[in-house]
């Protein structure tokens, strides 16, 4: 049993990690400013409301709870916003994380599992993407995450950076799921169409060099992500070396295939509009997850169809009439 501080634990991936920590016998303390998180997603331990940039508050929370490790999810994560407001992203994500690392060092907290992203790779030279690929982000969001990975490598902490591919799905038991104020991600938007909250899904580009012309992504179930965090924590506790791991299924699913899966799962027609390519979208992002399998004993358990089905159950309950 460990006490774990979970920054961003009121958010999508962070809340699922809290559930997985509880199932593994750990105690989570959520640290979240609730800018994008939701109080009702914090169910497995106390919520300490606070901002990463509030050093006094962080000090007080670390002193009160004395965690053995930090799972660090708190971040702004909308790629388009990061292009429009790079300074806000830098301040929140980079300066916030540096403040957190500093506070951990002051309080003798030695381990961090960091929520990183496939966006650190930019447009990959080789597929599937392995962890030794160069970090070449093409947007400020990815840059902030790459910079934090570098800061961790230069710190005295034991750390694991988990580079998520496309997080998707929801808790299979239906307790928690994805809820962003401004939704930009494919699967939730497709499900909003199924619920009648939007008229159609815009497919951004159908002329890519892919089997059906639409972009291919590696969608990974949020509960599989959560499980990897618990395993990464145990590995660091066991003296494992610091470094990054990709988290994806290793299988690609196209935008058109996601729409088709959602039509099957929801029974809704889901009208489609074809729009131009979205700037900055690589045609294909698929990872090699061999390193995570070998080092964490981890394997993804939920395929894309299950991700859409679990997300649908959650969306119907949260946003349905």
- Active site residues per annotation: 141
Query: Least Å distance between CB 184 and ligand UDP?
Result: 5
> With CB under 6 A as the contact rule, which of the stretches 25-33, 125-133, 202-210, 305-313 interacts with ligand UDP?
202-210
CA dist 58 and 28 (Å) reads 15
DSSP single-letter state for residue 112 = E
- Which one, 185 or 268, has the nearer CB to ligand UDP? 185
Q: Shortest gap between Cβ of 146 and ligand UDP (angstroms)?
A: 15
For 160, the enclosing helix (H) or strand (E) is: strand 158-164
The total of other beta-carbon atoms located within 10 Å of residue 167's CB is 23
Picking from 194, 189, 216, the residue whose alpha carbon sits closest to that of residue 281 is 216
User: Is residue 321 classed exposed, middle or buried when 0-12, 13-18 and 19+ CB atoms within 10 A define those classes?
Assistant: exposed
Map tokens 């800018």 to a residue: 35
> For residues 141 and 119, is the Cβ–Cβ distance under 8 A?
yes
Which range, of 13-21, 42-50, 201-209, 229-237, touches ligand UDP by CB under 6 A? 201-209
**Which residue's CB is nearer to ligand UDP, number 41 or number 216?**
216
215 binds ligand UDP (CB under 6 A): yes
* 174 Rama sector, left if φ>0, alpha if ψ -120 to 50, beta otherwise: left
Rounded to a whole number of angstroms, the CA Rg of the chain reads: 19
Q: Which is nearer to ligand UDP, 173 or 275 (CB)?
A: 275
**Shortest reach from residue 118's CB to ligand UDP, in Å:** 7
What is the per-residue binding string for ligand UDP in 19-58, x denoting contact by CB under 6 A? ----------------------------------------
Q: Rule CB under 6 A: is residue 127 a binding residue for ligand UDP?
A: no
Q: How far is residue 134's CA from residue 129's CA, in Å, rounded to a whole number? A: 10
Closest approach, Cβ 278 to ligand UDP, in A, equals 5
Structure tokens belonging to residue 117: 């992203």
- Residues contacting residue 56 through CB under 8 Å, at least 6 positions apart: none
Alpha carbon 269 to its chain centroid, in Å, reads: 29
Which position among 281, 290, 305, 318 is part of the footprint of ligand UDP (CB under 6 A)?
281
Interacting residue with ligand UDP among 33, 97, 166, 306 (CB under 6 A): 166
Strand partners, 27: 3
Q: What are the CA-CA distances from residue 248 to residues 60, 116, 165, 287 (Å)?
A: 36, 12, 5, 6
Element holding 71 (H helix, E strand): strand 69-72
x-or-dash string of contact with ligand UDP, 167-196, rule CB under 6 A? -----------------xxx--x-------
The region of 58-66, 198-206, 289-297, 301-309 touching ligand UDP under the rule CB under 6 A is: 198-206
Question: Which secondary structure element, helix H or strand E, spans residue 316, and what is its range?
Answer: helix 304-319
Kindly state whether residue 65 participates in binding ligand UDP, applying the rule CB under 6 A. Answer: no
204 touches ligand UDP by CB under 6 A = yes
Q: Does 115 bind ligand UDP (CB under 6 A)?
A: no
Number of residues that bind ligand UDP (CB under 6 A): 15
The contact mask relative to ligand UDP for 231-270 (x = CB under 6 A, - = no) is: ------------------------x---------------
Q: Which positions lie near ligand UDP, rule CB under 6 A?
A: 79, 166, 184-186, 189, 201-204, 215, 217, 255, 278, 281
């Amino acid at each position: 049993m460990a006490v774990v501080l979970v920054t961003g634990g009121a958010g999508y991936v962070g809340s699922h990690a809290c559930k997985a920590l509880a199932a593994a016998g750990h105690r989570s303390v959520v640290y979240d400013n609730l800018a994008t998180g939701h109080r009702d997603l914090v169910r497995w331990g106390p919520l300490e409301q606070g901002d990463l940039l509030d050093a006094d508050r962080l000090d007080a929370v670390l002193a009160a709870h004395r965690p053995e490790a930090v799972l660090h999810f708190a971040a702004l994560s909308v790629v388009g916003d990061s292009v429009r407001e790079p300074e806000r992203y830098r301040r929140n994500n980079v300066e916030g994380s540096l403040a957190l690392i500093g506070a951990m060092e002051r309080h003798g907290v030695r381990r961090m599992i960091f929520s990183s992203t496939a966006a650190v790779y930019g447009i990959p030279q080789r597929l599937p993407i392995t962890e030794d690929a160069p970090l070449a982000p093409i947007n400020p969001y990815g840059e902030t995450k790459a910079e934090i990975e570098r800061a961790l490598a230069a710190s005295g902490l034991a750390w694991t950076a988990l580079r998520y591919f496309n997080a998707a799905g929801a808790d299979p038991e239906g307790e928690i799921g994805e809820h962003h104020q401004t939704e930009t991600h494919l699967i939730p938007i497709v499900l909003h169409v199924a619920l009648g909250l939007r008229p159609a899904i815009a497919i951004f580009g159908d002329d890519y060099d892919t089997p059906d012309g639409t972009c291919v992504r590696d969608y990974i179930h949020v509960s599989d992500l959560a499980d990897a965090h618990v395993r990464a924590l145990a590995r660091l506790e066991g003296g494992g070396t610091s470094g990054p791991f990709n988290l994806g299924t290793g299988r690609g699913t196209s935008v058109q295939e996601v729409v088709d899966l959602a039509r099957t799962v929801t029974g809704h027609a889901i009208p489609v509009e074809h729009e131009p390519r979205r700037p900055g979208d690589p045609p294909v992002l698929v990872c090699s997850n061999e390193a995570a399998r070998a080092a964490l004993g981890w394997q993804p358990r939920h395929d894309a169809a299950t991700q859409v089905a679990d997300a649908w159950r959650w969306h119907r309950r949260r946003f349905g009439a």
